């Protein structure tokens, strides 16, 4: 809008005078002439008045502009927060005293701002006008103090050329961050605690000690958590609900949850130690959300064998403890309930699909064969998903093709299974619970009716919301679990000799001929299979090796070296079809060397390095290989690392072992 004055502002008056002069000319020329003279005088006056007014107004505006510039300049110089002006290359041209004080300097002109504040714009992905992008409000740490950064770019003329200046100012956010930290510290977390083997220990304890034992467990749990300002409520005889602030939980995290040791030290008067597991939620959730998350974490802890605490972090899980062997639970109620539930699920499903892990072994295939028997007993169509055979299962599949041709025809690749799968069909995962490690991961996206049966310690990756979940790390093998479930599903399992042999082979391979992790229920399952017709001489045939395999295994053992005094490590050179099998067998043999507590064998297959780890239990190969993306059991685990350089992976493995041993020394 134009606020200046001109002759146009007097236009109406001048028109009226002109009309009057014309009228006078008509009636009296003399008066008309006087009217014209009056109009000229009026127009001249209007022009001079408008010009003078505009000049006065302009002078006032200029004076006001100068005053405003002085006010602005004075305001900038007296701003209570650090300010700095740079050119487009980031060189400091001017700064106020607050900025100099902040960086402990008197005159910082000529310095590069980026060098003075390295964090400034560190997340910038692009530049604007040659200047690194800085998001307004972006937080930077200066002398460990958080500041919100704001920037303005100003165009100006310099020596006749266009240029830009950048004005930065920094607002102290310490108070806000302190408030956020306080809010985070006082946020509530929920913990669900369970005494793993409460029933077994109490049942085995002398009658006179049972009340004292229960009281001692209760006392130690209450005393430990209440000493950290936590609210403790017992809602079952072996389960507790804990609510506490995050800041009160941090000392527990720092001491690796000493409650695990306090419970383990209780003298139960039996040969079995009492152990405890717990799941902890993230802070900042509603109490219902926090309880569900803590309960899920507890399931993870129990699925990993118990005697540990699992804490949910923002994007993963943190594990504490888990260095004890999973103790066999003699309570068979769970197996019976889940066996009946699985039978009912099969009854409602038109088709049943069994799928193991990539590069399946005897345990995966044997368990899948057991699932096919369950489907057949219900009159359902069943399929085993298998892309291709491998040396560890070649002989079993050859015998299947000869003795069970109908079953062999129902082995199909994942792509064919996808074509056959319908939404109401049942998918049963055996010997694996990681979606990314399954034989054909897309199958999990096609149906929500998924059952998981596995004996590996549960990791952070797990099938989303399975309809039935049977992960028991105490079991020797998945074949043991499937056999036990079959005995509860049917009065007569109706196994053929081959099916019994296949299930037995899975138990044999994972127990190393019943010498490793074979519990009472393992032998009960083996007895059931023997009664069903299992022939150990035929089972032994499945494990016969050819000459090249034996030579390769001997070379791996021969080339092994000892690290950290009692750990054997070796590599299998070359990419052969049975390299993974040879590595696993060699790792077993290395444990036979006197004084060796753990062994690791690496082999490269295409662009992936496979690692087989074994131990007697004193060293947790599971925790070591979990740090490299693998998993398994305390004394038997594996990992697959995407890397085509086996030496690089070997160095990573040695570092992981070193970190594990150093961590163990600190805890002691």
Cβ-contact 167, 73 below 8 angstroms: no
Cβ-contact 120, 113 below 8 angstroms: yes
pLDDT of residue 578: 79
Distance, CA of 56 to CA of 53 (rounded, Å):
5
End-to-end alpha-carbon separation of the chain, Å?
A: 81
Distance, CA of 199 to CA of 329 (rounded, Å):
9
Cβ-contact 413, 443 below 8 angstroms: no
Distance, CA of 275 to CA of 266 (rounded, Å):
9
pLDDT of residue 115: 81
pLDDT of residue 186: 87
User: Who contacts 66 (Cβ-Cβ below 8 Å, separation ≥6)?
Assistant: none
Q: Which residues of the chain have pLDDT under 50?
A: 1-3, 5, 330, 668
DSSP 3-state of 5? coil
Query: Which two three-digit tokens encode residue 167?
Result: 């004005």
Which residue numbers belong to the known binding site for Mn(2+)?
357, 361, 363, 431, 455, 510
pLDDT of residue 566: 93
Distance, CA of 502 to CA of 533 (rounded, Å):
11
Cβ-contact 384, 372 below 8 angstroms: yes
DSSP 3-state of 548? helix
pLDDT of residue 1: 44
The per-residue pLDDT for range 197-216, each reduced to its tens digit, is 888 888 878 888 888 899 99
Which residue numbers belong to the known binding site?
357, 361, 363, 431, 455, 510
89 phi/psi in degrees, rounded to 5: -90, 0
Helix (H) or strand (E) holding 497: helix 497-511
Distance, CA of 514 to CA of 230 (rounded, Å):
45
Query: Which two three-digit tokens encode residue 198?
Result: 């409460």
> Which CATH architecture describes the domain 83-177?
2-Layer Sandwich (3.30)
Please classify residue 148 by burial: count the beta carbons closer than 10 Å to its beta carbon, then call 0-12 exposed, 13-18 middle and 19+ buried.
middle
pLDDT of residue 69: 56
- Stated pTM of the model: 0.62
pLDDT of residue 326: 56
pLDDT of residue 210: 86
The DSSP letter of residue 566 is T
DSSP 3-state of 311? strand
Q: Which of 339, 544, 549, 526 is nearest to 451 (CA)?
A: 339
At the topology level of CATH, where does 187-321 sit?
Alpha-Beta Plaits (3.30.70)
Domain ranges of the chain: 7-76, 83-177, 187-321, 332-542, 547-666
Q: Which of 158, 153, 272 is nearest to 205 (CA)?
A: 272
> Which CATH architecture describes the domain 547-666?
Roll (3.10)
pLDDT of residue 6: 53
At the topology level of CATH, where does 332-542 sit?
inorganic pyrophosphatase (n-terminal core) (3.90.1640)
């Amino acid at each position: 809008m134009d606020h200046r004055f001109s002759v146009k502002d007097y236009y109406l008056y001048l028109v009226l005078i002109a009309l009057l002069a014309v009228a006078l000319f008509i009636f009296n020329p003399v008066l008309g002439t006087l009217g014209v003279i009056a109009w000229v005088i009026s127009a001249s006056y209007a022009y001079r008045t408008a010009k003078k007014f505009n000049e006065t107004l302009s002078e006032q505006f200029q004076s006001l502009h100068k005053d405003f510039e002085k006010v602005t300049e004075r305001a900038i110089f007296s701003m209570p927060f650090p300010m700095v002006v740079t050119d487009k290359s980031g060189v400091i041209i001017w700064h106020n005293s607050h900025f100099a004080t902040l960086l402990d300097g008197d005159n910082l002109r000529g310095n590069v701002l980026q060098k003075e504040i390295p964090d400034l714009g560190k997340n910038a992905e692009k530049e604007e006008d040659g200047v690194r992008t800085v998001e307004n409000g972006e937080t930077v740490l200066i002398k460990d103090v958080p500041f919100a950064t704001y920037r303005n770019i100003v165009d100006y003329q310099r020596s006749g050329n266009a240029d830009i200046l950048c004005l930065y100012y920094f607002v102290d956010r310490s108070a806000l961050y302190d408030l956020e930290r306080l809010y985070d510290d006082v946020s509530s977390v929920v913990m669900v605690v369970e005494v793993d083997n409460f029933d077994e220990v109490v049942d085995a304890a002398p009658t006179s000690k049972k009340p004292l034992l229960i009281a001692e467990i209760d006392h130690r749990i209450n005393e430990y958590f209440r000493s950290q300002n936590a609210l403790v409520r017992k809602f079952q005889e072996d389960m507790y609900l804990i609510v506490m602030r995050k800041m009160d939980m941090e000392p527990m995290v720092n001491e690796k949850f000493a409650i695990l040791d306090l419970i383990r030290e209780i003298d139960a008067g039996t040969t079995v130690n009492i152990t405890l597991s717990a799941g902890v939620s993230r802070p900042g959730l509603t109490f219902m959300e926090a309880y569900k998350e803590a309960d899920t974490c507890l399931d993870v802890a129990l699925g990993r064998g118990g005697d540990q605490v699992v804490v949910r972090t923002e994007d993963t899980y943190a594990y504490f403890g888990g260095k004890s062997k999973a103790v066999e639970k003699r309570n068979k109620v769970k197996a019976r309930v889940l066996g009946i539930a699985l039978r009912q699920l099969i009854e409602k499903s038109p088709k049943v699909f069994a799928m193991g892990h990539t590069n399946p072994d005897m345990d995966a295939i044997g368990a899948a064969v057991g699932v096919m028997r369950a489907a057949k007993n219900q009159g359902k169509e069943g399929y085993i998903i298998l892309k291709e055979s491998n040396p560890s299962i070649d002989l079993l599949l050859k015998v299947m093709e000869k003795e069970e041709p109908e079953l062999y025809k129902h082995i199909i690749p994942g792509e064919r299974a996808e074509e056959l799968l319908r939404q109401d069909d049942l998918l049963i995962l055996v010997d694996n619970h990681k979606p990314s490690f399954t034989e054909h991961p897309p199958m999990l996206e096609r149906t929500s009716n998924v059952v998981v049966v596995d004996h590996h310690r549960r990791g952070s990756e797990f099938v989303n919301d399975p309809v039935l979940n049977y992960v028991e790390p105490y079991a020797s093998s998945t074949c043991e679990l499937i056999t036990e479930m079959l005995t509860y599903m049917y009065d007569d399992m109706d196994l053929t000799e081959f099916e019994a042999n296949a299930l037995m082979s899975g138990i044999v391979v994972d127990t190393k001929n019943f010498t490793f992790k074979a519990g009472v229920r393992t032998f009960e399952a083996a007895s059931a299979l023997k009664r069903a017709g299992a022939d150990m001489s035929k089972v032994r045939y499945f494990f016969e090796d050819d000459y090249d395999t034996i030579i390769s295994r001997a070379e791996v053992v021969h080339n092994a070296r000892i690290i950290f005094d009692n750990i054997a490590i070796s590599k299998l050179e070359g990419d052969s079809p049975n390299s993974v099998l040879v590595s696993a067998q060699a790792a077993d043999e290395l444990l036979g060397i006197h004084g060796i507590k753990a062994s690791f064998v690496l082999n490269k297959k295409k662009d992936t390095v496979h690692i087989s780890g074994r131990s007697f239990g004193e060293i947790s190969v599971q925790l070591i290989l979990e740090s490299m993306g693998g998993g398994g059991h305390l004394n038997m685990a594996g990992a697959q690392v995407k890397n085509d350089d086996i030496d690089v992976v070997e160095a990573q493995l040695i570092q992981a072992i070193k970190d594990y041993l150093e961590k163990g020394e600190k805890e002691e």
